[in-house]
Structure 1
């Protein structure tokens, strides 16, 4: 790959995830401090990601793959996204904010597939090259968090009282506009499907892969993947707000430890996979979820702040060891014919249905404990204990019912 193309793809990934990390991490904190949103409203705002994940296959499968170059659609979606971000920046109440975030996530979620399409189209050896390009997305997310906490200080107590958290949307709008314009300079990525070629809704949604669920082991994994999204939703929805409310300094910056650990655990994944195999690696991931939420439940911003840092840093083990391993397992089970359909189905089920249910439950649990009143630390202890219990139950059921399989080829994750 030419160095100029490598730079363009890396910069594209950097901005793609800078845009996401620049507002999504602090969304709940913003909604509470700026718009005085309640838990039901916070849940509905986060659920827009799920609707975006459900609708994204239609945009990609029915439009992007058939009629237009991927880089052009990417540019148009991000320019439109910049305008929506600016409208979110100017919103004064939740009723005025929600329609914009809803439309924004429907436009943003397809871009995750589009940046991959643009990248893969330039690679002769994706297994070797993609990781080196994709890591710039993780760096973009990290830089966004560091800027919010350490450069602009938008998440400290004084800034929150002054309503400065809304500036995250202005920063993201500028980055989204930059990516939108830059996208038109990306390598040409023409439509995959031939003109006139018919495609069914079943193919777009990956429903052809439903036959995989006839395999008992894969069915158990599939159900576990959906259920583990409930604890995951708690983290996305409330981690930043929790860290802010209990007084941890620079919470958004410290949350970037989670993305830093992603890089580390991705490197460790082949080692764990070789030593422990598929089942034990997945169980280790779910155990990490349990430990993370217990750390949040019993840690504090004082002498036990190290527990909070451990909980954040376990994000790499939680995500890489479960979801990345699961993607590899799905790829292996699906076979050549249904690979794309299977990945589409598992994404729809987890980030669409699973997270949608998870965000709703997180809102209900949070509202229930907060309505009972009491000390802030005690309320959060009750809230975080709930996803810890769910993760433990999912882990136990998976350990009992999932039968050990042969190790998958390590080269798939190397």
Structure 2
């Protein structure tokens, strides 16, 4: 790959995830503090837009990008429209006006996650060697967004509307920059549209493998407690008095990068079952640390809980992607990954977003929330999933 193209793709990834990290981490706090009369239930509904976008995304990418319009053109157009929608979000004062705009934005944004990958892969001779170097700039973008929010003290100053404006400016830059990216024309132009192919349903036959079926169900179930983390970590940390909470949360992405580097070593020594099990165990520990942590003597618990994100994400989701790729075979590799993404970020997190808001709202107190009780719930869910997984999962390659 030419150095100039490598720089282009790295900058693309940086902006793609900077935009998301610039507002998503503090969304729960924004909804509770900047919008009038909102509750934890509205926080869950706001985050639910991600799942709706994830469910709709395959249709946009599978139908338009694969068959009609070049990926870099669609990417540019989406981010230009997205810039306007993000700027509109910054000025909203009620949930009723904010939610429809956010929903439209996420329906447009979620497909871009697949588009940037598609553009990057098409320029690589050996994605297994090149992609991780390019993709890591996306994580760096997310980290820098969080550090900026913490450094500028927008959470404490109650000026989180500026996060949407910052994201809007970055979206405008990426929208314009996208038109300079290498041309990525549709590969299936003129081919017949198959809904089964778009949704990855061709890979459903993999569920005949009982162990893979258990992994698949565990993936959906583990995304339920994950929704608690995405929805309420930032409001929780701000409510208990942590300074620059968004900046501290960026440590989770730092650990994600670190554990990604050492994953091949762990994978070769531990295998699929132990890797997945350690990932789920980290989820249990994270929520227990949040339940018993505070900004005084147990401040370290909060930091360790955040840093565990690297184990939670890499050991479970990345290992799961590798496991899926191995079992799928050449014919269904893409379909299988799309199927798992639809199930996790679509179905699993949708359930989590729906139930987490009302649960947190039920533990509201006169001065805030009973966070100890709140965090024990996702810890219990993750522990139950872990125990069932360890009891019944067997790493086997046969598909019948």
- Look up the match of 1:369: 363
Partner of 1:409: none
1:62-141 matched pairs, under 5 angstroms: 62-141=63-142
Q: Write the distance in 2 (CA, Å) between the matches of 1:227 and 1:262.
A: 21
Residue 268 of structure 1, CA deviation: 1.8
Output one character per residue of 1:59-109: Cα deviation in whole Å (capped at 9) or x when no partner: 001111100110000000000000000110111211110110000000000
> 1:249 maps to which residue?
243
Aligned counterpart for 1:298 among listed residues 292, 295, 299: 292
Instruction: Tell me, in whole angstroms, the C-alpha distance in 1 between the residues paired with 2:8 and 2:395.
Output: 43
Displacement of 1:374 in angstroms is 5.7
Task: Give the superposition deviation at 1:364.
Answer: 1.8
Runs of 4+ in 1 over 3 A off after TM superposition: 374-377
Tell me the distance in 2 between the aligned counterparts of 1:192 and 1:304: 54
Determine the C-alpha separation between the residues in 2 that align with 1:369 and 1:381: 10
| Residue of structure 1 equivalent to 2:392 | 401
- Note if 1:174 corresponds to 2:169: yes
Supply the distance in 2 between the matched residues of 1:403 and 1:121 (Cα, whole angstroms). 35
Distance 2:361 2:33 in 1: 16
Equivalent residue for 2:17? 17
Matched, 1:388 2:389: no
Map of 1:411 onto structure 2: none
Deviations 1:174-225 (CA, angstroms, capped at 9, x unpaired): 0000000000000000001032x10211111111111111110000000000
Q: Distance in 1 between matches of 2:312 and 2:199?
A: 26
Tell me the residue number matched to 1:359. Answer: 353
Matches within 5 A, 1:2-401: 2-36=2-36, 37-150=38-151, 152-156=152-156, 159-160=157-158, 164-195=159-190, 197-370=191-364, 373=365, 376=368, 379-401=370-392
Closer/same/farther in 2, CA of residues 19 and 389 from structure 1, 3 Å limit: same
Q: How many residues align?
A: 396
Check the 8 A contact 1:68/1:190 in 2, yes or no.
yes
Say whether the 8 Å CA contact 1:221–1:398 is kept in structure 2: yes
Following the alignment from structure 2 to structure 1, what is the Cα–Cα distance between the partners of residues 330 and 371? Answer: 46
Shift of 1:16: 0.1
How high is the TM-score relative to the length of structure 1? 0.94
CA distance in 2, matches of 1:124, 1:318: 31
**Deviation sequence 1:295-330 (CA, Å, 0-9, x none):** 000000112111000000000000000000000101
- Displacement of 1:405 in angstroms is 3.8
1:339 and 1:135 mapped to 2: Cα distance? Answer: 23
**Where in structure 2 are there 5+ consecutive unaligned residues?**
none
What is the distance in 2 between the residues matched to 1:331 and 1:360?
A: 30
Deviation at 1:376? 4.3
Which blocks of at least 5 consecutive residues in structure 1 are unaligned? 407-414
3-state DSSP of counterpart to 1:248: coil
Q: Distance in 1 between matches of 2:243 and 2:86?
A: 27
C-alpha distance in 2 between matches for 1:374 and 1:26: 23
1: CA distance, partners of 2:57 / 2:305: 31
CA distance in 2, matches of 1:318, 1:104: 28
Deviation at 1:404, TM superposition (A): 3.7
Q: Which residue of 2 aligns with 1:410?
A: none
Alpha-carbon separation, structure 2, partners of 1:405 and 1:303: 46
